[in-house]
């Protein structure tokens, strides 16, 4: 069986402004991977489950979920919203949205996924990492449990440090040191005939 969530099932810039639009945006990713066979049929099942009870949780979390005949395998998609989306939680809109899809004959597969996810969401470091993660592959790995929030944070810190050093070097006009064994400008000039060296020194720069 494929991984339950991959980078293709993550949207870190979820632009939806309603829970229906959010479910559609994430379900479209599932459909593109062949995990949902009938998009409209699946969304109808999601809406029917949502009508029974809101799926918003305190802490800015939305977890729409359902079992559906239009799902080929248990799948989880994740979206991060900058504006927040109302999923009916008492404390306000959700910025972290998880869509759980399970096949109709998968017993309580979606509840198993929901339970495992709920345990992760109780960890403040986990939700903080989801809110700051910069790329979809790392977000998927974090949700799968392949990397820890601490590893995610340290990896992003290292990446930021490298980017800062690169920007500093560019701003100061510095260039990387020459490779060992490669002749520098002085060595090249020293080995050139006097006439050639004088010509190079007086020649105007080309445009």
| 124-132 helix and 109-121 helix, angle to the nearest 10 degrees | 90
CB 6 within 8 A of CB 76: no
110 is catalytic: no
Residue 32's contacts (CB-CB under 8 Å, 6 or more residues apart) are 8
Q: Shortest CA distance to 83 belongs to which of 15, 157, 8, 31?
A: 15
Q: Shortest CA distance to 73 belongs to which of 114, 31, 120, 26?
A: 31
Q: Which of 19, 24, 29, 65 is catalytic?
A: 65
Q: Shortest CA distance to 13 belongs to which of 33, 30, 29, 32?
A: 29
Catalytic residues: 65
């Amino acid at each position: 069986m494929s991984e339950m969530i991959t980078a293709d099932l993550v949207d870190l810039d979820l632009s939806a402004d309603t829970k229906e639009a959010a479910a559609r945006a994430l379900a479209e990713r599932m459909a593109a991977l062949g995990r949902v066979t009938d998009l409209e049929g699946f969304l109808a099942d999601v809406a029917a489950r949502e009508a029974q009870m809101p799926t918003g949780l305190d802490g800015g979390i939305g977890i729409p979920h359902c079992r559906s005949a239009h799902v080929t395998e248990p799948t989880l998609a994740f979206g991060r919203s900058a504006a927040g989306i109302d999923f009916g939680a008492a404390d306000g809109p959700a910025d972290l949205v998880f869509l759980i899809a399970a096949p109709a004959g998968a017993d309580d597969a979606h509840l198993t996924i929901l339970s495992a996810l709920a345990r992760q969401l109780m960890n403040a470091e986990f939700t903080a990492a989801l809110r700051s993660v910069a790329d979809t592959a790392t977000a998927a790995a974090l949700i799968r449990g392949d990397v820890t929030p601490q590893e995610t944070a340290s990896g992003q810190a290292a990446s930021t440090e490298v980017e800062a050093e690169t920007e500093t070097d560019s701003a100061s006009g510095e260039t990387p040191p020459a490779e060992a064994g490669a002749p520098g400008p002085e060595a090249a000039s020293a080995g050139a005939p006097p006439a050639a060296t004088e010509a190079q020194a007086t020649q105007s720069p080309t445009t």
